[in-house]
Every structure is written in C-alpha cells, then in structure tokens.
Amino acid sequence: MQLVNLGMIGGGTVGSGVFHAWQKNGGLMAARLGVKLVFRKIAVKAFDEPRPYPIARNLMTTDWQDVVNDPAIHIVIELVGGTGIAKTMVLAALAQGKTVVTANKALLSAHGPELFAAAAKSGANLYYEASVCGGIPIIKSLREGFVANQFSAIYGIVNGTCNYILSRMKAEGAEFADVLADAQKHGYAETPPDLDIDGHDAQHKIGILASLAHGFWADHHAIHTEGIREISKIDMEFAGTLGYTIKLLGIAKQIAGKKPGVQISVYPTLIPNAHVLASVNGVFNACFVRGDIVGDTLFYGRGAGKDATASAVLSDVADAALDLKNGAKLRVPPFVAHANTRRIVPLDEITSQYYVRFSVVDKPGVLAKIAAIFAAAKIGISSVIQPEGHEGESVPLILMIHDAPNAAMRKALAKISRLPAVKAKPVMLRVENFS
C-alpha cells in the first residue's frame, strides 16, 4: 500500500486531537483510501505542554523547520493559528511543493489571495476544511457537492461562543455580561473574548464561505461586522414575545438590482422561531445554504473542539493523500476566481426589516412624533409594543419595521434620537425572514 507521510506543526489541543483521531481511525482510513498515512514529525511549543491526548515523544520536535524541510514529508498540517509565524510556515511548505492543510481562518482571511497564489505557483494544494464550522464539511460541500449551483444565500451560525452565550441568555433570561463571565470561568469562552464576541471570528468564516461561493476573494475590511456585546436580556425577551430568536448570523447573499453584488456581513439577527436555525443552540454551528439547483440545505454540528476539528483536518489529509496516490495534483483547486461581480454591497444599500427598541418618556404624542419621522423617510411600521408604564417615566417602546434600506433607517434613527423624549441610544437589530 502506498505510504503518505505527514508532518504537523502544532501539538496542543487540536494537534493532539488530530494525532489521537489518526491513532484511533488511521487503519480505517487506510482501508478506505488505499493509502497508509504515517506521521513522521510533529512540531510542538514544548515537549511537555498541556495537551488533552498524548503525542508519541519520538515524533516531537520543537523546530517547525524540521517538519517543513523534511523531504520525506508530503503533507504539512498547520495548526498554530494567528497570522504571524503561521504565514511563514505555510508559505515555506507551499514553496517546497508540499500540500498544506490548515485550520487557520484568521490567516486565510487576512492573506488568502497571497497563500492561494503561492499554492498555484508551486503546483501545491492548500486545504482548509477545518477553518470554518469545525467538523461540518461545509467547504467540501460548497466546493464539490454544490459545484453545479449558484448560491443565492448562505446564512451561518458560525461562532460557537456567541451561540452559547445567546442560547443561555434566552433560556435563562440572563444578561450578556453574567453569561460571558460564567462561560469564561468554565473555559467555554476565551479571555479576552473579543475575537469571538465582537464578531471577528465569524467575519473570517463567512468571508471564506462567501469567497468560495462567489468566486472572488472577499476583503475582510469590506465585511460589515457587529458582535453581541449590545444584546440585552430585555431585547431577547421582546424578540421572544414577537416570535423571534436572536442569533449572530454570518450572511452571504446575492443582491440583484441596478447595482448587483453580494452582501457579506455579520450581525445579531432576529430570526423567526419557526426557522430551523432558531433551534441551533449551545456551542453548535449551522449553515443554511440556498443553491439555485439544489434548493435549501442545512448543515449542523460542532464548530470547534479537538475532535470535531480533527475530523475536518483528517478529511483534508485524505483528499491530499488521494491526490498523491492518483497523481492528481489540484484535482480540486483550493480557490477558483470565477466571479461575475466582485462587489461587496455596502450595508447602507441593503434592505432589511428591523426590530427597534426606544427608551422614551411615557407621555402623549411621543409615539406620533417617532412615527412621523419614519413616515417622512417612507419607512413603514409593522407592529408596536409598549408595556404599560407610568406617565412621565421612561418606558421601552418596541417597533417592528417593514423593509427599508439601512441608510434610510440609520438617518431616521439619528433624527429620532434627538427628540427630547428619547432617553437612550435606540437599539436596532435586523430581522431575517429567509425569503
């Protein structure tokens, strides 16, 4: 049986997970693939760094160049993370014509075009299944399973930390800060948590999915990104009363019209309770993909963690090993530019429905003034909730708004904020009905 030699850089949580999964199911993979996968070297930070699964001591080195420069190693797995030294490692391996498997979404997001150009130049392949949604095979599905489709929309719950926090806020009626603190205490959220809760991790992931789906590299600077810090218990409750759940959604949607393009964004979104994504709870991820031929499809699973990520890494290793076995370099190119449009539609041009919560003084005429500003901006109100309060005191006023462009909405809210009866910055969340 043909041997394919593996080298790995990173022997921490995910790296040891890959090694463990290979120990457990490497024989099964060999039977399925007709290729024997053999680990030759694993570069680690320190021999005794904490890791959930042991790694064979004789495979370890603390010098990543031992992995990249070993002529017997065919496939280099990069699990270091970040955009610094990881870039040097990936480029060094590609320059030697070695296939690279990476889980590094931040690196791809920041340097995708350069990395894919380097892979093309040396005729090497770059696989990145584990970079988005952990164990869910979403990259392979978009690239191969749905190759016959144009993608009108992809909606993803792609950050497990945010989904965990929002799910607990809803289930327990808890505030964001309390759930975050508890999640950090139990190791479910990073400290500091910014990359996750400010939406950057989700931005990297939806950017990768959108690029693959639409055939142009989405510059992450153009991806409108909002996190979940501003979501409060009261909004979760009012959204529930109105029949919605709040989720952090990555959205990549084709926009037709005079100025077509692709909406690529990340923001907390009200989604109808009846929609399947509303039941994706805890640390789970899900992607809802709408293709013009296949229709609606749904992917669900663990978006992070040593074992789920190892499953995705080894699926890339298997593809790379089959390429080598069959002499089929670039059977599936890592990224193909095929776009008709390369335009990321600015958020101001996007039309959506909205949930808005004002904090207003409860007195006659306030609602009329707010409604008049919306009417002048040609923005329609679809429903209103105002819990009974005491005249003269501040009360929440919740409006659901019909489809309106984001720019018009932003301007109307700025005007409303200046009304003396409006006591705090309005909360505005977009609503997605998946139509």
341 to 380, contacts with ligand HSE by CB under 6 A?
none
Contact 318, 193 (CB under 8 A): no
Rg (CA), the chain: 24
Match 């984001």 to its residue by tokens: 406
**CB-based burial label for 428 (10 Å; 0-12, 13-18, 19+):** middle
**Shortest distance (Å) from residue 204 CB to ligand HSE:** 8
C-alpha–C-alpha distance, residues 238 and 163, integer Å: 18
Q: Which stretch binds ligand HSE (CB under 6 A): 153-161, 176-184, 214-222, 398-406?
A: 153-161
Of the candidates 205, 247, 253, 306, the residue annotated as catalytic is 205
C-alpha–C-alpha distance, residues 139 and 211, integer Å: 11
Site string for ligand HSE, 162-201 (x = CB under 6 A): ----------------------------------x----x
Contact 286, 118 (CB under 8 A): no
Q: Which stretch binds ligand HSE (CB under 6 A): 42-50, 159-167, 237-245, 355-363?
A: 159-167
C-alpha–C-alpha distance, residues 100 and 411, integer Å: 48
319 binds ligand HSE (CB under 6 A): no
Q: Give the nearer residue to ligand HSE in terms of CB position, either 105 or 111.
A: 105
Give the residue, chosen from 99, 104, 141, 159, that forms a contact with ligand HSE under the rule CB under 6 A: 159
C-alpha–C-alpha distance, residues 200 and 415, integer Å: 30
226 to 245, contacts with ligand HSE by CB under 6 A?
none
Give the residue, chosen from 8, 94, 115, 304, that forms a contact with ligand HSE under the rule CB under 6 A: 304
Q: Give the nearer residue to ligand HSE in terms of CB position, either 54 or 282.
A: 282
Length of the chain, please? 435
Q: Give the nearer residue to ligand HSE in terms of CB position, either 198 or 201.
A: 201
C-alpha–C-alpha distance, residues 305 and 236, integer Å: 28
Q: Are strands 60-61 and 75-78 parallel, antiparallel or unpaired?
A: unpaired
DSSP line for 122-176: HT--EE-GGGSSTTS-HHHIIIIITTT--EEEEEEE--HHHHHHHHHHHHHT--H
303 binds ligand HSE (CB under 6 A): yes
Q: Which stretch binds ligand HSE (CB under 6 A): 158-166, 214-222, 292-300, 385-393?
A: 158-166
**Shortest distance (Å) from residue 196 CB to ligand HSE:** 5
> Which residues are registered as beta bridge partners of 288?
155, 298
225 binds ligand HSE (CB under 6 A): no
The reply to whether 329 belongs to the active site is no
Site string for ligand HSE, 112-151 (x = CB under 6 A): ----------------------------------------
**Shortest distance (Å) from residue 340 CB to ligand HSE:** 30
* Residues at the interface with ligand HSE (CB under 6 A): 159-161, 196, 201, 303-304
- Active-site residues, by number, are 205
